[in-house]
Amino acid sequence: MPRFVELDEARAARGLRLVVTAGIPSPWSEGAKGLFDIKRADYLAVRLSPRDATVRAWTGHHNAPIALYDDEPPRGGWAEILTLAERIAPEPRLVPDEAAARVETQGLAHEILAENGLVWCARLLLIHAGLVTAGQRGFSPGAARYLAPKYGYAPERVDGARARVLSVIALLADRLGGRRTFGTDGPNAVDIYAAVAVGVFHPLPEELCPMLPAIRHAYETTDAELRAAISPALLAHRDRMYERHLTLPVRL
């Protein structure tokens, strides 16, 4: 389980260290944290707050999450962090051994977290909303302008991003069906990633998930059509995952 420490302690330690965003419940950071939480693996966690140059200098990466294990190179991609989690904490398995189930699990994870996937496209839509409404919806104009080049924002990408968000949400609802988990023998990686992704459209309440006010405003002003697309089953699944398996998002 995580123990939050200052940078100097993490830098001097061995074993697993995880850099995660604070005050911004990023689905990428929360997904990485969730992998090790569900495995009940011990690790040191370091908060990356906005404009934190010292942590970025240590990891060599601008964003979070970053997983550092012993003297191995830092890992920043969701798939690389998942592979590391399966290696250093094999139980419970989050990616099935059987080939077809493994492809299904990794494919759904890709649809959620990869470039042009569910949460990537959700970011594009929040950027667009912030720019065209002067921050009445979505990110503030300043944040939107800062994030736009990072996510390849262009107005002509908005319709495609909306369609991708709706299609992946529908795909997840279909795959979950009437089951309690995406995994056949309990939660797998998709359960973690789906739960944290739902929080972009329906954030947890402030008492459970304190976040920077501007970020809560952005999440809570997500387009009504997209919020409505999250089925009651997906919302209930998110709540079960936090009640039974996941730790709450990182506080400042």
Residue 180 pLDDT: 96
* Residue whose C-alpha is closest to residue 252's, from 199, 205, 213: 213
Q: Is residue 82 part of a domain?
A: yes
Residue written as token pair 């398996």: 245
H-run or E-run covering 109: helix 99-113
Q: Are residues 84 and 104 part of one domain?
A: no
The CATH number of residue 135's host domain is: 1.20.1050
Q: Is residue 84 part of a domain?
A: yes
Q: Are residues 103 and 13 part of one domain?
A: no
Q: Are residues 226 and 130 part of one domain?
A: yes
Q: Are residues 193 and 115 part of one domain?
A: yes
Model confidence pLDDT, tens digit, residues 88-134: 999 999 999 999 999 999 999 999 999 999 999 999 999 999 999 99
20 contact partners, CB below 8 Å, separation of at least 6: 26, 29, 30, 32, 33, 45, 46, 47, 48, 64, 65, 250
Q: Are residues 197 and 140 part of one domain?
A: yes
Burial, 37: exposed, middle or buried (Cβ in 10 Å; 0-12, 13-18, 19+)? middle
Q: Is residue 93 part of a domain?
A: no
- The identity of residue 180, as a single letter, is R
Residue 186 pLDDT: 94
Query: Which of helix, strand or coil describes residue 191?
Result: helix
Beta bridge partners of 48: 21
Q: Are residues 183 and 63 part of one domain?
A: no
Residue 9 pLDDT: 96
H-run or E-run covering 132: helix 118-132
DSSP state letter for 75? B
Q: Are residues 60 and 12 part of one domain?
A: yes
Q: Is residue 251 part of a domain?
A: no
Write down which residue in 37, 62, 88 finishes a domain. Answer: 88
Q: Are residues 104 and 215 part of one domain?
A: yes
Q: Is residue 94 part of a domain?
A: no
Contact 108, 171 (CB under 8 A): yes
Q: Are residues 221 and 172 part of one domain?
A: yes
Contact 122, 138 (CB under 8 A): no
Q: Are residues 84 and 111 part of one domain?
A: no
Q: 183: domain range?
A: 99-244
Write down which residue in 88, 117, 133 finishes a domain. Answer: 88
Total count of domains within the chain:
2
Q: Is residue 123 part of a domain?
A: yes
Mean pLDDT by 10 residues, the chain (252 residues): 90 96 92 96 89 86 94 97 98 96 98 98 98 97 96 97 98 97 96 98 94 94 95 98 92 70
Q: Is residue 77 part of a domain?
A: yes
Residue 49 pLDDT: 75
Q: What whole-number distance in Å separates Cα of residue 9 and Cα of residue 208?
A: 27
The CATH number of residue 45's host domain is: 3.40.30.10
Residue 51 pLDDT: 73
Write down which residue in 88, 116, 135 finishes a domain. Answer: 88
